[in-house]
Amino acid sequence: MRQRVSTLIAVTVLAIAVGCSSLGGGGKAPKGGESDDRGKKIEGASGMIDESLGSDTDRTGKTEKSEPKAARPSDGEKHAEEPTTGLRDDKAAKTTKADGFRKDESKPKEPSGMTDTVRPKESAPTTSGLKAGFADDNKQFNYFVNFLNKYAGEVSKYPLNIQERIIFRVKDSAGKPVANAHVEIYGNRDKLCWGKTYADGTYLFFPSEYDQKYIAYKVQVTSSAGKKEIAVDRQGKREIPIALDAPRTAQKNVPLDIVFVMDTTGSMGEEIARLKDTIEIIKLNLTALPAKPAVRFGMVLYKDKDEEEYRTQVIPLTDNMDAFKRELDKVEASGGGDEPEDLQGALADLIGKIKWNPDGIRISLIITDAPPHLDYGQEYTYAGAARDARAAGIKIFTVGTGGLPLMGEYILRQISQYTYAKYIFLTYGEKGESAGGKEGSVSHHTGSNFTTDKLETIIMRFAKEELSYVSDQPIDMGEEFFQAKKLEDEKNEETLRKLFDMSILQLVDYSSLNLEQGTPTSIAPFAAVSDALAVNAEYFTEQMGHSLQGNKLFKVVERKDMQKILKELELQQTGLIDDEGAAKIGKMLGAKLIISGKLYARTDTYELFIKLLRVETAEILAVNKLKIDKNLGLAK
């Protein structure tokens, strides 16, 4: 299987394996194409979920059926030459409109040494039931960059060069995120890109999409909470806060638009039926939240260019649930035959024909079991749609189902990562890693009630998450942590090795900076919040060192003369070493990265917070939390 398996998997109800989950095993009736030997698992999945279920003008009344056309301008981005990440020279995608909707003249990159990346779909098991998990490729950014590079030569795709990423987080005077702030980024005097912040105040910027001549940027932010202009160094920190001087505007009933982009070809019957059965549950659960959002639903349906019924069809956004359900009930799975479908035509409609709210939350979900056609010569590509969605503050979650081939997964993950969303994968009644079995000593908990569950549950969770950012009554989404328990038949050192191996793997995957092989790395002495914890802080530092030595990504820098360095920096070995202090230690050791930690004592466990720091800037690249059974320490 195309699967990244850690030897440290914990099998508990609330546990998943780091970087390993099912893409869609089980699948459905074949659409055609040649088979290959790729398995049914995605790489780098960061979550499995189980959540208990607990206005604008109505624009419905007619639907639109159309051939895809260039959509209307939204916001924008100005591009230098597109990156050459494929295997042949292509023309760059050029901007023809300064306000964002562009004619994309780049050609899809063809795979190397492969004539087809398609495989037939498999029959769904008789005892089905759609289950869902997800991969957050912005959270596991370093892993995602490696995923793209690993499979770049095996699939046709349009380039979205995200190798460098800077995240701007806009907050008001009270530290609350500011949604829909207008951001403009300049290199020299050239306006490079612009757009809206997402619900959590985030705007993603990818320096790697632009000419190397731009080594510094000017960032301007405008919103009801004020204006701000800052200067940014290209080699500086990867996450940059922007604090405005006034409070954000409170919204009583936050507009929430959800648009389903549905592949309606013959193999998609189960997904369509599931949405029909659960759309009212989704609406009821969202409107019952304390934020009382003004929810609207819409759809863009798509098949292929040779289908008699339609190629694409738009169901406008509406807050009238009965009207939307009538339109949804008309949707049937039919047609298809060849593997790819016209997703790019659907995305042109999503951006150009859907009348999105300007001041609330905008979410779209692509649901498909097939890659898009890239051979129609369409001027408006999925890469252009992703850029325009980012500019308009639209998150495009992508849902891969059935036996989605590698090309489909690759492209869906490109789209969701670029628009700050997540890639969701569906399975058909399979047992996942959390489905039972002997309890392990180390488990990975990814938030409140995370196990594999149904599509509607995961849709509700992500909508709730977006609402939590704009509400003054935040929703508790739980916390992520690793937990180590004492087992009688396992040595403490073996359990701790598993724990710290998992911790390092996640730090690497979640790094906001792409990490190179052989990066010089060291460990700062873990800090203890009290003298009574000093011995265990030193012990856990030593155990982390063993795991670091075993990871081939790092070139471990020896911690020689540590006492001398600590004394010179006026730091106690068991004292509280802040991020600046840890970075200074790393610099004196000749490291580019340094791992630091802080140890706390709870009733039955130790809690250890681990950070991966970039020495040059003292920037936190990744963090994780470990809960350690006190019986695994040197003293209870």
- pLDDT band for position 579 (cuts 50, 70, 90): confident
Decide which of 470, 490, 523 is a domain's last residue.
Answer: 470
If asked whether residues 462 and 573 sit together in one domain, one would say no
Confidence check: pLDDT of 111 > 70: no
Tens digit of each residue's pLDDT (9 = 90 or more) over 137-184: 999 999 999 999 999 999 999 999 999 999 999 999 999 999 999 999
Longest CA–CA span in the chain (Å) reads 78
Decide which of 443, 470, 497 is a domain's last residue.
Answer: 470
The span from the CA of 391 to the CA of 375, in Å, is 26
Structural domain that includes position 612:
506-632
For residue 121, give both structure tokens.
């779909």
CATH number of the CATH domain containing 538:
3.40.50.10610
If asked whether residues 464 and 510 sit together in one domain, one would say no
**Count of other CB atoms within 10 angstroms of residue 531:** 9
Mean pLDDT of 180-209: 98
pLDDT at 252 (0 to 100):
85
What length does the chain have?
636
Q: Is 183 domain-assigned?
A: no
CATH number of the CATH domain containing 46:
3.40.50.410
Percent of the chain with pLDDT over 90: 58
If asked whether residues 419 and 519 sit together in one domain, one would say no
If asked whether residues 604 and 461 sit together in one domain, one would say no
Q: Is 337 domain-assigned?
A: yes
Confidence check: pLDDT of 190 > 60: yes
For residue 321, give both structure tokens.
């649930």
pLDDT at 629 (0 to 100):
96
Confidence check: pLDDT of 367 > 70: yes
- Contact between 487 and 441 (Cβ < 8 Å): yes
HEC assignment per residue over 36-73: CCCCCEEECCCEECCCCCCCCCCCCCCCEEECCCCCCC
Mean pLDDT of 456-476: 84
Higher confidence at residue 448 or residue 439? 439
Collapse the DSSP code of 301 into the 3-class scheme (helix H, G, I; strand E, B; otherwise coil) and give the result: strand
If asked whether residues 460 and 534 sit together in one domain, one would say no
pLDDT at 566 (0 to 100):
62
The span from the CA of 24 to the CA of 134, in Å, is 11
The span from the CA of 571 to the CA of 541, in Å, is 16
If asked whether residues 269 and 150 sit together in one domain, one would say yes
If asked whether residues 263 and 370 sit together in one domain, one would say yes
Across 325-345, b (16+ Cβ under 10 Å) vs e yields eebbeebebebbeebbbbbbb
Beta-bridge partner residues of 301: 262, 313
Least confident of 61-75, 224-238, 287-301, 520-534: 61-75
Rg (CA), the chain: 25
Collapse the DSSP code of 397 into the 3-class scheme (helix H, G, I; strand E, B; otherwise coil) and give the result: strand
If asked whether residues 438 and 299 sit together in one domain, one would say yes
If asked whether residues 312 and 383 sit together in one domain, one would say yes
Confidence check: pLDDT of 68 > 80: no
pLDDT at 425 (0 to 100):
86
* Total tally of structural domains belonging to the chain: 2
Euclidean distance between the first and the last CA atom of the chain, given in angstroms as a whole number = 43
Decide which of 444, 470, 496 is a domain's last residue.
Answer: 470
If asked whether residues 421 and 514 sit together in one domain, one would say no
- pLDDT band for position 613 (cuts 50, 70, 90): very high
Confidence check: pLDDT of 405 > 50: yes
Q: Is 12 domain-assigned?
A: no
